[in-house]
Amino acid sequence: MNWAQARQILRFKRIDPVPSTSTDAGDLGTDPLASVRATSICIVSGKGGTGKSTVCASLSSMLARTGRTLVFDGDLGVANAHILHDVHPERTAVDALEGRCQLRDVVHPCGEQLDLIAGGSGYAQVAGLKMCELELLAAGIERLERQYRFLVVDAAAGLSHQTVEMAAASDRVIVVTTPDVTAMTDAYAFLKVLVPRKPLSVPQLVINRVTCPEEADHAARRIQRVSKKFLGFEPEWIASLPEDRAAFRCTQRRMPVVRGEEDSELAVALRDLTHGLLEDIGRHHPRGLGRALLHRLREQMRTA
Ligand SMILES: Nc1ncnc2c1ncn2[C@@H]1O[C@H](COP(=O)(O)OP(=O)(O)OP(=O)(O)O)[C@@H](O)[C@H]1O
Ligand SMILES: [Mg+2]
C-alpha cells in the first residue's frame, strides 16, 4: 500500500491532539474524550518466547470480566493470540492493511465481553510496517477504542518500529522477560529503544518462568539497576510468574491458564497481576492508544 491508498482509506480523518506526553500517566489535563477510550496495555519483550501471549490471554480474559476488552495481536508475521482463545478468524489485521476491509471488520468475538483482532502470517517480518501502514492501523484502532474498556496488545517480539511506537503510545507497557540472561539483555534493549520515544507511563516488568523468589528478585533488580544507571529510570517490577507446566497444558487445550487451570500456581499469580493492574489503572485516565499513536506519527511526519 502507498500513501495515496492509505490516505484514501483514512479520508484525512482529523484527530484531536493528545494532551502532552510525559512519564506521569496521571497528568491528563482536561481532555473530555479521554475517559471514554479503552485503557491500553501493551505486552512486549525483546526476545521471543518469553510468555507474552500466555500473559496476554489470561490478562485479557480476566479483564473481560470487568469490562469489554479487545485484544490486538500485533504480530503480523507469526500471529498466535487466536490459538489461546481457540478461535479461527477468517480475517486478520493484514486484510485491513492490504485494503481488503476496514480494521473493524476484522474484530472477532472470542468470549463474553472479549474480542480479538488477529494478527497475520508472513507480513512485515523483515522490513516492518511503513509509516502509512502504521497510521492506517492507528486510525482503525482509534475508531474502535471508544467501544471498549480495555485494549490489550500482544506485541511481536523484537524492536520493530511498529512495536516500539505502539508501546510508547499505550497507557501501560508490560515488558515480559524470563530470568534467562539473553531474555534479560533483550528486555533491556527494548527499554533502551523505548525510553527515547517518551512512553506515556513508566514501563512495567514481569519476570516469567521463575523457579524461586530469589531468581525473580535477582533478575528484576538487575534490569532495574542497569536501566537506572544507563537510561536514568527504573522499570517498575509488578509481578513474577512461576515456571508451571500448566502453561503448556493450557496452550495444548487452547485456553488461557486462568480458565484452563484456575487453581494452578501460575493462574493465581496471573490473577494477582491482573488485580494489581486494575488498581493501578483505576487511578489514571486512559488516553487512547489509537489517538495517541496517530498524534505521534503525525508529529514525526511533520518534523521529518
Ligand atoms: N510460566 C510459564 N511456565 C512454563 N511455561 C511457560 C510459562 N509461560 C510461558 N510458557 C511457555 O513458553 C512458551 C512460549 O510462551 P508464549 O507463546 O506465551 O511466548 P511469547 O512471548 O508470546 O512468544 P512469541 O515471542 O513467539 O510470541 C509456550 O510454550 C508457553 O506454554
Ligand atoms: Mg506470542
Residue 198 sits in a domain whose CATH number is 3.40.50.300
Whether 120 is covered by a domain: the verdict is yes
Question: Residue 206 domain-assigned?
Answer: yes
Alpha-carbon dihedral angle through residues 125, 131, 136, 141, given to the nearest 10 degrees: 80
> Mean pLDDT across the chain, nearest whole number?
88
Q: What is the reported pLDDT for 129? A: 86
The amino acid that residue 157 corresponds to is A
Distance in Å, CA 247 to ligand 1 centroid: 7
Domain assignment of residue 188, yes or no: yes
Q: How many CB atoms lie within 10 A of CB 234?
A: 19
Q: Which structural domain, as residue segments, surrounds residue 75?
A: 38-303
Work out the percent of the chain whose per-residue pLDDT is above 90: 76
pLDDT at position 68:
97
Q: What is the pTM of this model?
A: 0.89
The whole-number pLDDT of residue 127 equals: 59
pLDDT at residue 123 is higher than 50: yes
% of the chain exceeding 70 in pLDDT: 87
pLDDT of residue 153 exceeding 50, the answer is yes
Cell of 30: 482536561
Does 47 contact ligand 1 (Cβ within 6 A)?
no
Per-residue pLDDT at 18: 41
Tens of pLDDT along 21-34? 333 333 333 444 44
pLDDT above 70 (res 35): no
DSSP the chain: --HHHHHHHHTT---PPPPPP-S-TT--TT-SSGGGSPEEEEEE-SSTTSSHHHHHHHHHHHHTTTS-EEEEE--SSB--HHHHTT---S--HHHHHTTSS-GGGG-EEEETTEEEE---BSSSSSS---HHHHHHHHHHHHHHGGG-SEEEEEPPSS--HHHHHHHHHSSEEEEEE-SSHHHHHHHHHHHHHHGGG--SS--EEEEEEESSHHHHHHHHHHHHHHHHHHHS---EEEEEEE--THHHHHHHTT--HHHHSTTSHHHHHHHHHHHHHHHHHHTS----HHHHHHHHHHHHHHH-
How large is the average pLDDT for residues 57-74? 97
53 lines ligand 1 (CB under 6 A): yes
Does residue 270 or residue 12 have the better pLDDT? 270
Counting from 1 in the atom list of ligand 1, the atom nearest the Cα of 47 is 25
For residue 9, pLDDT beyond 50: no
Question: Among 54, 175, 177, which residue has the most ligand 1 atoms within 8 Å of its CB, making it the best to mutate?
Answer: 54
pLDDT at 48 over 60: yes
Is the residue at 279 inside a domain?
yes
Task: Tell how far the Cα of 52 is from the centroid of ligand 2, in angstroms.
Answer: 5
* Confidence tier at 122 by pLDDT (50, 70, 90): low
Contacts 24+ apart (CB under 8 A), 189-196: 189/46, 189/159, 190/44, 190/45, 190/46, 190/159, 190/164, 191/223, 191/227, 191/231, 191/235, 192/230, 192/231, 193/159, 193/164, 194/164, 194/167, 194/168, 195/231, 195/232, 195/233
54 lines ligand 1 (CB under 6 A): yes
The pLDDT score that the predictor gives to residue 125 is 53
Say what the pLDDT of residue 291 is.
95
pLDDT at residue 239 greater than cutoff 50: yes
pLDDT in tens, 169-214: 999 999 999 999 999 999 999 999 999 999 999 999 999 999 999 9
Ligand positioned closest to the Cα atom of 190: 1
Ligand whose nearest atom lies closest to the CA of 46: 1
Number of domains in the chain: 1
Average pLDDT over residues 47-61: 97
